[in-house]
């Protein structure tokens, strides 16, 4: 099911992430749940991730994993791996960081920013989230296409 949400500010984008977290919590599986986040630089991918983590009752700081490639967050229900593949130039680099080990983790959520940089190595996503600026970025509104 595809849905479109429009957010007007950071708090609404976080709330949209929380809503997806509630949906994820209803899924009955032990395997890793995969989320792809796509959008331009600054579109709100990490902000949306903050919302997902908030929805899992995570209270710590959430930052972009741009330089570390992955940030690991422990929640009551899931181990969340937040990947930023912006700096990945070849999918083979994912194998070098041990991507398979992360994806084998049971009861986890793997969130990938810039998933196209891992094409051919990453599995299919359970959720695809496309975040784009509304009105050519003239204000803070974002459109989130969640499928």
Q: List, for residues 46-66, the tens digit of each pLDDT value.
A: 999 999 999 999 999 898 887
Spell out where the chain has E strands.
3-7, 33-38, 70-74, 79-84, 108-113, 127-133, 142-146
- Cα dihedral 107→25→132→2 (10° resolution): 110
Residue 136 — pLDDT band, cuts 50, 70, 90?
Answer: low
How far apart CA 13 and CA 82 sit, in angstroms, is 17
Mean pLDDT of 125-142: 86
Looking at domain 3-146, its CATH superfamily turns out to be: P-loop containing nucleotide triphosphate hydrolases (3.40.50.300)
Q: Mind listing the pLDDT tens digit for each residue in 69-107?
A: 999 999 999 999 999 999 999 888 999 999 999 999 999
Contact between 6 and 134 (Cβ < 8 Å): yes
Mean pLDDT of 12-34: 94
Sheet with 127-133, edge to edge strand ranges: 3-7, 142-146, 127-133, 33-38, 108-113, 79-84, 70-74
Structure-block tokens of residue 105: 């983790």
Task: Report the chain's mean pLDDT, rounded to a whole number.
Answer: 92
Q: Is 129 strand, coil or helix? A: strand
């Amino acid at each position: 099911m595809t849905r479109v949400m429009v957010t007007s500010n950071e708090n609404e984008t976080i709330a949209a992430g929380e809503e997806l977290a509630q949906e994820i919590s209803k899924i009955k599986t032990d395997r890793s749940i995969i989320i792809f986040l796509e959008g331009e630089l600054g579109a709100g991918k990490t902000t949306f991730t903050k919302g997902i983590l908030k929805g899992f009752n995570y209270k710590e700081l959430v930052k972009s994993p741009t330089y570390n490639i992955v940030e690991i967050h422990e929640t009551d229900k899931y181990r969340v791996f937040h990947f930023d593949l912006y700096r990945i130039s070849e999918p083979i680099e994912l194998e070098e960081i041990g991507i398979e080990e992360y994806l084998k983790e049971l009861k986890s959520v793997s969130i990938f920013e810039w998933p196209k940089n891992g094409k051919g190595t990453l599995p299919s996503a359970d959720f695809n989230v496309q975040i784009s600026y509304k009105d050519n970025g003239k204000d803070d509104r974002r459109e989130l296409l969640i499928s």
